[in-house]
Amino acid sequence: MNDQSIMENLLLTTKGVCDLYLHGAIESGTQNVHQAFDSALSDSLAMQDAIYQAMAAKGWYTTQQADEQQLWQVRQKFARPN
């Protein structure tokens, strides 16, 4: 397994953890439990961002800018009728 694959796996795992912590915070029954999940989510989001930044710096995670036509089509698709 190469470094890029390891980083991709770390990123996917961290994103999954963020999802679990988010749902834990939403569903928590007490303030203490909510705070524990919220804190863990914040830490995990920071970790996810650090992994993403490292991958982007190496060119392993690229994004593309959406063009105006694509944005317009999405806006039209989800526009509410008057």
Domain locations in the chain as residue ranges: 3-78
Q: What is the pTM of this model?
A: 0.76
Of residues 21, 10, 19, the one with CA closest to residue 48: 10
pLDDT tens-digit profile, the chain (82 residues): 899 999 999 999 999 999 999 999 999 999 999 999 999 999 999 999 999 999 999 999 988 888 999 999 999 999 887 6
Q: Which residues contact 60 (CB under 8 A, 6 or more apart)?
A: 4, 7, 8
Q: Which residues contact 33 (CB under 8 A, 6 or more apart)?
A: 24
Q: How many CA atoms lie within 13 A of 1 on its CB side?
A: 7
